[in-house]
Structure 1
């Protein structure tokens, strides 16, 4: 089933999110907060999830004020994205509260860790992969199921990194870099699977991990677009240790604009990817890195 192009929309409607709910994982972080506010300002309701019990009171007060001013709604739920057993129960809580179908995801949840490769503790390496890859997959899977349930089109934005394209100069973060590169491929794979039913052959091959494959025709759903956003270095509270070490000034020299980015600079790229303005874009990466990888 193909979906018609939104050619009837006026230009001012291309980046609106009216009558849609967007879920934001890692929702207590600086980028997620900034992006969430722009979603609320663009007509969408926003559901923030994060592993902390609640966002900072001053942050949440600002979010609620923006929602009230724009006739939108914001809600917050505690969820650790790598806790597979808790994903469905949290979504069972979210579902009955929604005014509009869940039609978007901004997957921001992720962690990093710096260590020389020969000294990297295996548990730390696995945790980074589990949060950044498996956790992202679990929340993306849950959102896609909700879109299928509601039989609506949707757009998923997975926050990867320019570190999925290059090896960061002067800082040893092999696990993080590998996980962000994996997110690029995860997005391409999901975009292919959820874009059109003809993209997948009938049935699947039996294996140890797939002992009883179904040969029945797959259900047909409206398309879900899946793209990645790859930011460059971002100035956030988490960057404080890097600033103390002088790393942020070095990073500023490594891109074409001579500075690192601010969290608010990712509002427009995310709105573009979520909205009908990017209706013919899927399986792609939008790199917003100040020219870092082009130099």
Structure 2
């Protein structure tokens, strides 16, 4: 659920559990499993070696305290730390993790066996293991640095609103109940019969006493703008976006990026089937999407597009005007028909979209417009000849600058992205290979752009993090315009 990259296991997890978790990590993920004795045995290591995910697992056998010291010395930090409460010195392990900053900023500690099948709540208990777990729970409960959620199995089910100390007991319920949906969200199912405490850092209280040799300035840099961390400011939850030319290439990448950041996304393309295919991809990720067909060069199509989005989701917050075409010809042979067709889509269509979306945004006092220009607005790419395209993209930049200055005082920011040559199926043909080699010689980065190279930029320009930017041409071309 938190998309971890590094996980630390302290205790006695089974080999198959470790492998199950490893399978859900990204390729660069890592699990450090440490224990006092080699209980995992050679057979588990052999099993790991037979799995393609085994390379993500590092077994460290020996005194756990020494292993933690070594990890601290190696400056490791983890997104999830599993601690088995049913082991000697569990309190010390928890304290070491917290005191020595082995946790990344938004990490979670999962402490297993914190309920011991309910025994920790019984009176007159003499079992040393149960008393040790009770002590660990007391330490965690009294630690002002963290907040926690307890999950266990019992006959009674209490929801958070009924139990403000955040101890949840999940009882047996038929499929489809609230409790079952919680289980379905998990990527890896963990047994919780003996209890599982989920622990994370508490937000720093405004009156927190910070001991430091230097004065700590508690301003917006410290607390975050409007008390939001920087990554939270890039979120687009609750926003409504559209992407023209969204059925393929850069537009498809933009649609995925905006949706992953939390926006509802209308995918707009000249060909409805292409828009529907991308909308289907988004829905598989749980992103609310809408597929629309529109010819952006026609004002009636643009207005119909905007009206459909407003009818579905009430407004438009983010307008990503990406649709464009490129028709190559020598300048002396460029026909008026080719010139008009290029400008009708690349500049006229973009203007119509800016105007239609801008009216909604100006009325609501907020909006982000992101236009797709091109590196061709800065230089004359060669050896291809594309007069109409180059001139139209230069017009996109000037249009963006003009609207950006006119509308910022009314809450609407207008910026554009100028990509370099993007690696798409359209340029992978055999006959274009010599041309691609020529382009690569002119790019300091030594490669073509990938659509994913542009995704973070569109999210930034769509988010509140870029509220002070307007009329800007954000160039992403691997340095090609510098040579």
TM-score of Structure 1 vs Structure 2, range by shorter chain: 0.7 to 0.9
What is the SS of the residue equivalent to 1:109?
coil
Measured in 1, the distance between the counterparts of 2:408 and 2:252 equals 29
Alpha-carbon separation, structure 2, partners of 1:241 and 1:160: 25
**Aligned partner (choices 76, 84, 107) of residue 299 of structure 2:** 84
Return the match for 1:258 from 446, 449, 463: 446
- The reply on whether 1:20 has 2:239 as its aligned counterpart is yes
2:233–2:464 contact (8 Å) kept in structure 1: yes
State the Cα distance separating 1:92 from its structure 2 match: 2.2
Q: What are structure 2's unaligned runs of at least 5 residues? A: 1-223
TM-score (norm 2): 0.52
- 2:225 is matched with which residue: 7, 12, 23? 7
Give the 3 Å change call, closer, same or farther, for CA 46–243 of structure 1 in structure 2: farther
Which residue does 2:171 correspond to in 1?
Answer: none
Residue 473 of structure 2 is aligned to residue 285 of structure 1:
yes
Q: Is the 8 A contact 2:242 2:265 kept in 1?
A: yes
Q: Which residue in the other structure is 2:169 paired with?
A: none
CA contact (8 A) 1:16 1:42 kept: yes
Distance in 2 between residues matched to 1:51 and 1:11, nearest whole Å = 36
Q: What SS does the aligned partner of 1:270 have?
A: helix
Change (3 A) 1:242 1:289: farther
Contact 1:160 1:183 in 2 (8 A): yes
Provide the rounded CA distance (Å) in 2 between the counterparts of 1:54 and 1:139.
21
Q: By how many angstroms is 1:133 displaced?
A: 0.4
Q: Displacement, 1:245?
A: 4.6
State the alpha-carbon separation in 2 of the partners of residues 56 and 155 from structure 1: 22
- Partners of 2:325 and 2:433 in 1: CA distance: 19
Larger radius of gyration: 2
Task: Tell me the secondary structure at the aligned position of residue 234 of structure 1.
Answer: coil
- CA contact 2:269–2:275 (8 Å) conserved in 1: no
Mapped to 2, the partners of 1:17 and 1:180 lie a distance apart of: 28
Quick check: 1:14–1:276 contact (8 Å CA) kept in 2? yes
Farther off after superposition, 265-274 or 245-254: 245-254
1:242, 1:254 → 2: CA distance?
Answer: 20
Q: Distance in 2 between matches of 1:189 and 1:242?
A: 42
Is 1:190 aligned with 2:409?
A: no
Note the C-alpha offset of 1:169: 1.8
1:249 paired to 2:437: yes
Cα pair distance change 1:58/1:81, threshold 3 Å: closer
- Taking the aligned partners of 2:278 and 2:311, their CA distance within structure 1 comes to 25
Q: CA deviation at 1:195?
A: 1.3
Q: CA deviation at 1:58?
A: 5.3
Residues 103 and 152 in structure 1, CA contact (< 8 A), matched pair in contact too: no
Say whether the 8 Å CA contact 1:88–1:142 is kept in structure 2.
yes
Determine the C-alpha separation between the residues in 1 that align with 2:482 and 2:341: 31
TM-score (norm. length: structure 1): 0.83
Residues of 2 paired with 1:235 and 1:242: CA distance?
A: 14
Answering whether residue 413 of structure 2 is matched by residue 225 of structure 1, we say yes
Question: Which whole-Å CA distance do the structure 1 matches of 2:379 and 2:430 have between them?
Answer: 19
Structure 1 unmatched ranges of 5 or more: 1-5, 197-221
**What SS does structure 2 have at the residue aligned with 1:110?**
coil
1:174 partnered with 2:387: yes
For CA contacts below 8 A with separation 6 or more, give which structure has more relative contact order. Answer: 1
Deviation of 1:263 after TM superposition, in Å, equals 0.8
| Distance in 1, Cα, partners of 2:431 & 2:439 | 10
Alpha-carbon distance between aligned partners in 2 of 1:171 and 1:242, rounded to the nearest angstrom: 16
Q: Which position in structure 2 is the counterpart of 1:75?
A: 290
What is the RMSD computed on CA atoms of the aligned residues?
A: 1.7
How many residues align? The count is 259
In structure 2, distance between residues paired with 1:56 and 1:89: 16
CA apart distance, 1:241: 4.7
